[in-house]
Structure 1
Amino acid sequence: MKPKFITISEEIIEKIKDGELLPGDKVPSENELINDYKISNTTARKCLLEIESKGYARRIKGKGTFVLNRTVEHQLVRTLGSINSTRRGFNEGIKAEGFTPKNIIIEKTVLNEGISSEIVGKHYIIDGPVLKIRQLRYADDILMKDETRYVSLKLCPRIDRLSTEISYFKTYEEEYNLKISDIKQTLGVDILEASSAQNNFEVDKQIPVFILDSVVLCDAEKVVEIERSFYRGDKYKFAIVASPEYDVSPTFNLKK
């Protein structure tokens, strides 16, 4: 008969293999295992150590134990419709999947006139002043994401003084006490030529990209953030959460 911690760890590993737990997702904590399986602290700890020792998860001190990325060619998984994934932010998500993040800022400026964008067939506007940040996001020295973010300085004064490595979503909630009411997202695809001015992916040939447009709304439909990002198409997979914590509306446009 197998030890209890082996049986439980195998059950959790099966959830990882089946995609029920995705790369970057948090594995049940010791306390959750104790409550769910009615086991001791020692058995719960052994379960997590067993999952980690088999290469399916990694413990991050003070954060928890997270599912590692074991996909073919280490493709990153971006989860649409997941508030937890959005709240975690790029850097924390990359670390949770087992990679080392790096960020290079190529533009950081204040737009006094504001910004607008059409997302899910509707125009969204942020009145100035607006912080514009464009940065290149790396995982293990491979450029994965070309991100441009616009943030309301009226709703988030002096956020331009904070590090760009923060989780912006978490900062809106915790530092500015904004209650996020909705996130709208559209996902498109395109091919960038090597010579294109939009192509920062350090390749000498055309490359497929996902284009994600999103808007973050708080109370009274106020626009906190607008984002337009290019994700390297050969390095990313996208997953969908059907029952998000908030009413998040991912929309797909697969036209080139």
Structure 2
Amino acid sequence: MTKNIFLQIYQEYSGRIQTGALAPGSKMPSENELAREYNTSRETVRKALHLLAQNGYIHKIKAKGSFVLDIGRMDFPIGGLVSFKEMSERIGRKSQTIVHENQLIPVPDDIAAHLEIDKDKYWVWKVIRAREIEGECVILDKDYFRSDIVPVLTEDISRESIYEYLEGELHLPISYAKKVVSVEDADEEDRRLMDLLNYTHVVVVRNYVYLEDTTLFQYTESRHRLDKFQFVDFARRSHGEERKSDF
């Protein structure tokens, strides 16, 4: 009987999430409320909630409860170099870029370390942009470009596509990037400039971007709301077998 109730809770709530009856971001009933609704124990409820979380339907936040995830999360390519404009055109969702900062500054110590340059000899362009998709700011991009390589960078360019400008007008041969992905506590700037809902953490993708001659000219910190993206890569074995990994 307990097993049937456990499966019943899972099936009913996964069904409501799949049909949209429970919207992404909405809060699930508490363990006590579900135990009363199904006339069962909290332990049985926990098993059902654990399965819902395991299968990507909900996200449990300590001391706050369980929240419905967007099961239509967008694929974000972890391999390759794709601009936000290119990504938004591919996913076909209404989006826009909000430029919060676009200025030439002396190189901060931490950015000098990331770009492997002498902070007393260089300046960088600092660009902070919020990426809005379907009315929600779910990505915060912090970009730093060496000004000796990118001498001019206007707010209009940053609002449209920096890579389009770099490749199309400056003819920079952008070649490859090293990427580091982590999950980190959301900071004050994340909370101020992103629509984080109840999420207390963000997925951070750090990009170190190189030209063909191996010059490291860009450092980017791209911060993503947890529920909106799945980070996708394709890997090949030496004999040609392909597998897909979702992060």
Give the structure 2 partner of residue 124 of structure 1. Answer: 116
State the shift of 1:162 in Å.
Answer: 4.4
**Backbone CA RMSD of aligned residues:** 2.7
> Is 2:97 aligned against 1:99?
no
1:175-214 matched pairs, under 5 angstroms: 175-192=169-186, 196-199=188-191, 200-203=193-196, 205-214=198-207
- Out of 209, 227, 236, which is 2:229 matched to? 236
Shift of 1:96: 2.2
Which ranges of structure 2 fall in alignment gaps of 5 or more residues?
Answer: 1-68, 237-246
Match of 1:153 in 2: 147
- CA positional deviation for 1:72: 5.4
CA separation of 1:95 and 1:179: change in aligned 2, threshold 3 A: closer
1:216 pairs, out of 200, 209, 218, with: 209
Shift of residue 191, structure 1, vs aligned partner = 3.5
SS across alignment from 2:170: coil
Give the CA deviation at 1:150.
Answer: 0.8
Deviation per residue, 1:70-115 (Å, 9 max, x gap): x9543121101124xx1xx212321321211122222221113363
Q: Which amino acid counterpart does residue 76 of structure 1 have in structure 2?
A: M
Secondary structure, in 3 states, of the residue corresponding to 1:74? coil
Q: Check 1:136–1:241 CA distance in 2 against 1; reply closer, same or farther (3 A cut).
A: same
Q: For 1:125 and 1:81, locate their aligned partners in 2 and report how far apart those are by CA, in whole Å.
A: 26
Q: What SS is found at the alignment partner of 2:160?
A: coil
1:81 match: 79
Give the TM-score, by structure 1 length.
0.56
Q: 1:174 to 1:197 in 2, by over 3 A?
A: closer
- Give the Cα–Cα distance (whole angstroms) in 1 for the partners of residues 133 and 73 of structure 2: 10
SS in 1 for 2:158: coil
| 2:105 counterpart residue number | 111
| Deviation (angstroms), 1:225 | 1.1
> 1:75 is aligned with what amino acid?
R
The alpha carbon displacement at 1:153 in A equals: 2.0
Q: Which has the larger radius of gyration?
A: 2
SS at match of 2:235: coil
Q: Could you report, residue by residue, the CA deviation over 1:110-167 in whole angstroms, capped at 9, with x for unpaired residues?
A: 113363244xxxx633862211010110111111101101112211221236421333
Query: Whole-Å Cα distance in 2 between the matches of residues 162 and 225 of structure 1?
Result: 19
SS in 2 for 1:242: strand
